[in-house]
Chains A and B, each alone.
Chain A
């Protein structure tokens, strides 16, 4: 696998986002929802702080616990809805338009194609995340948020989004219908989001396994500003596994077609 080929594909697909209106709609919707959430949560936080100032009872609200963590918790849910729209086109569109024949007969490896496409979508998600930077920056004007926590939250979000995107890459490689690809992706990531529910009823061993597979649990440490190697490894291996399955699906696509 060479980086150069991977980047050629990634660049082409990244640019493709911005030549369709979908990118701008997704960006607008995401920014709007995140802005709305930020100011609502900020409002609650300010009220809590004011109450605490008045009564001075118990522990006061903390920026990290009562502002930053809720914001990122919500951001991760919003991404769950938005990422299927970003990944659905990756392979489905190429199949539909027959451009996949160009990619598959060019002197590049299938792994470079898959990884390049994954990077293009993750790159676009990163652009979405950059659009939320003004919110913590606004905080910096008024108070002193812990930027260590904020950067860790961003890192954790990129990793988690990476898993969503890799699932999306797989789903898009299975069909030439973008709607089907998007719906499959949404169903799959939502399932891994709530997989823990089954853990409560499963036996000890299965419960532990299901709990381990829960995407959101691995975000905990990052959201507290702690870099956790084991969660980092979890996210990377999940990405690797889904992309490998996408690779296999595409390989068999050409064997069948």
Chain B
């Protein structure tokens, strides 16, 4: 549904996005994840034909954004970073105006506005002035204008930015309910957002795509070595050394344990090798009393930090930034 190839954009001398390429399949909900200034908004502005790229191509719903912008615009609903709403307009009138821009008029417009209001939970405020609504409701109006013409593709730029936690949950629910048949791209710099709403993520940093997959796969990809946590009843002498000597183990650290356990060992495998059976065997045969063995799943936050934190210059080459990895 969306095909982007080697897209670059310069603002004067500054390169905001650098030869990025990706595709989005029909019906997918893609999370476009990256810190502030990564180039998310820039990419979205190009996909929605707000502005042209400096080089590269992008096709949306089969049409080139540069060659056939009107065809693309007809099929795309876009919520910019700041909801583009007129404060001095009434909600329903505003949606009717947006529908009219898409050539939807008369009874069709009435129907389109009615269902956009309903789908976005705005039926109660249809007659209110947009300027008098809360920020959460203004955001809903912003989403309503993006779907009023029933587009195939929905592009949402940081749809929950600046909302309070309750509003955030509501807007995420709304986005999920709107996805359905549509192809959705939503950008965010907040991790839990992609966790709760997206089927796939694209991680962008400093104008470059650094990862593109499901969240689980990205986490796994990052787990350079498997990290295993081992809980034992007795911290028998020499256990640490024995664990270290297991073939394929890169590092072992001891951590204080809670409850009845004596110790927790965090064992890191070299090169992501499978070490669980060897490690558990040592724990059993040494008489330490194996209470628990599990794989540490990296929290998404860590993944994210890993992906976007630049090594401070001066740190040793080859040393991964996250010690826990």
Chain-A contact segment, one of B32-40, B79-87, B280-288: B79-87
Assuming the contacts A102-B145, A105-B49, asked whether A20 and B84 have C-beta atoms less than 8 A apart, the reply is no
A257 proximal to B (CB < 8 A): yes
A8 and B80 contacting across the interface, CB-CB below 8 Å: no
| Contact among A12, A101, A254 for B80, CB-based, below 8 A | A101
B101 and A108 contacting across the interface, CB-CB below 8 Å: yes
A107 and B85 contacting across the interface, CB-CB below 8 Å: no
A20 and B88 contacting across the interface, CB-CB below 8 Å: yes
A107 and B51 contacting across the interface, CB-CB below 8 Å: no
A212 CA to B78 CA, complexed, in Å? 47
B45-89 vs A, Cβ < 8 Å mask (1 yes, 0 no): 100111110000000000000000010011010101111111111
Using Cβ atoms and an 8 Å threshold, which residues of chain B touch A20? 88
Assuming the contacts A8-B97, A106-B98, A106-B102, asked whether A99 and B85 have C-beta atoms less than 8 A apart, the reply is yes
Using Cβ atoms and an 8 Å threshold, which residues of chain A touch B80? 98, 101-102, 105
B50 and A105 contacting across the interface, CB-CB below 8 Å: yes
B100 proximal to A (CB < 8 A): yes
A95-125 vs B, Cβ < 8 Å mask (1 yes, 0 no): 0011111111111110000000000000000
Assuming the contacts A104-B50, A255-B52, asked whether A97 and B87 have C-beta atoms less than 8 A apart, the reply is yes
A126 proximal to B (CB < 8 A): no
A16 and B86 contacting across the interface, CB-CB below 8 Å: yes
A19 proximal to B (CB < 8 A): yes
Q: For chain A, what secondary structure do more than half of its interface residues adopt (helix, strand, loop), or is it mixed?
A: helix
A106 and B51 contacting across the interface, CB-CB below 8 Å: no
Using Cβ atoms and an 8 Å threshold, which residues of chain A touch B101? 5, 8-9, 103, 106-108
B273 proximal to A (CB < 8 A): no
A104 CA to B98 CA, complexed, in Å? 12
A35 to chain B, nearest CB (A): 29
A74 CA to B253 CA, complexed, in Å? 90
Using Cβ atoms and an 8 Å threshold, which residues of chain A touch B82? 97-98, 101
B135 to chain A, nearest CB (A): 14
Assuming the contacts A98-B84, A107-B70, asked whether A8 and B100 have C-beta atoms less than 8 A apart, the reply is yes
B103 proximal to A (CB < 8 A): yes
Using Cβ atoms and an 8 Å threshold, which residues of chain B touch A106? 73, 98, 101-102
A191 to chain B, nearest CB (A): 32
Q: How large is the interface on A (under 10, 10 to 19, 20 to 34, 35 or more residues)?
A: 20 to 34
Assuming the contacts A12-B97, A102-B98, A107-B102, asked whether A19 and B88 have C-beta atoms less than 8 A apart, the reply is yes
A19 CA to B49 CA, complexed, in Å? 30
Using Cβ atoms and an 8 Å threshold, which residues of chain A touch B86? 16, 97, 99
A105 and B52 contacting across the interface, CB-CB below 8 Å: no
A100 CA to B78 CA, complexed, in Å? 12
A106 CA to B151 CA, complexed, in Å? 12
Using Cβ atoms and an 8 Å threshold, which residues of chain A touch B145? 102
A106 CA to B76 CA, complexed, in Å? 9
Assuming the contacts A8-B100, A101-B78, asked whether A19 and B70 have C-beta atoms less than 8 A apart, the reply is no
A143 proximal to B (CB < 8 A): no
Using Cβ atoms and an 8 Å threshold, which residues of chain B touch A19? 88-89
A101 CA to B101 CA, complexed, in Å? 13
Using Cβ atoms and an 8 Å threshold, which residues of chain B touch A99? 84-86
A201 proximal to B (CB < 8 A): no
B51 and A254 contacting across the interface, CB-CB below 8 Å: yes
A49-81 vs B, Cβ < 8 Å mask (1 yes, 0 no): 000000000000000000000000000000000
> B47: nearest residue on chain A (CB-CB)?
A105
B100-119 vs A, Cβ < 8 Å mask (1 yes, 0 no): 11110000000000000000
A106 CA to B50 CA, complexed, in Å? 9
Assuming the contacts A105-B78, A106-B98, A106-B102, asked whether A254 and B50 have C-beta atoms less than 8 A apart, the reply is yes
> B75: nearest residue on chain A (CB-CB)?
A107
B95 to chain A, nearest CB (A): 12
Lowest 10 A-B CB distances belong to which pairs? Answer: A102-B84, A106-B101, A107-B73, A98-B82, A101-B80, A19-B88, A254-B51, A8-B100, A99-B84, A105-B48
Q: Can you add 12 more A-B contacts, CB < 8 Å, to A105-B76, A254-B52?
A: A4-B103, A97-B86, A98-B82, A98-B83, A101-B84, A102-B80, A102-B145, A104-B50, A105-B49, A108-B101, A255-B51, A255-B52
Q: Could you tell me which A residues sit within 8 Å of B by CB distance?
A: 4-5, 8-9, 12, 16, 19-20, 97-109, 254-257
Q: Could you tell me which B residues sit within 8 Å of A by CB distance?
A: 11, 45, 48-52, 70, 73-74, 76, 78, 80-89, 97-98, 100-103, 145
Q: List 21 A-B contacts (CB under 8 A).
A: A5-B103, A8-B97, A12-B97, A16-B89, A19-B88, A19-B89, A97-B84, A98-B82, A98-B83, A101-B78, A101-B82, A102-B145, A103-B101, A105-B49, A105-B76, A105-B78, A105-B80, A107-B73, A109-B70, A254-B51, A257-B51
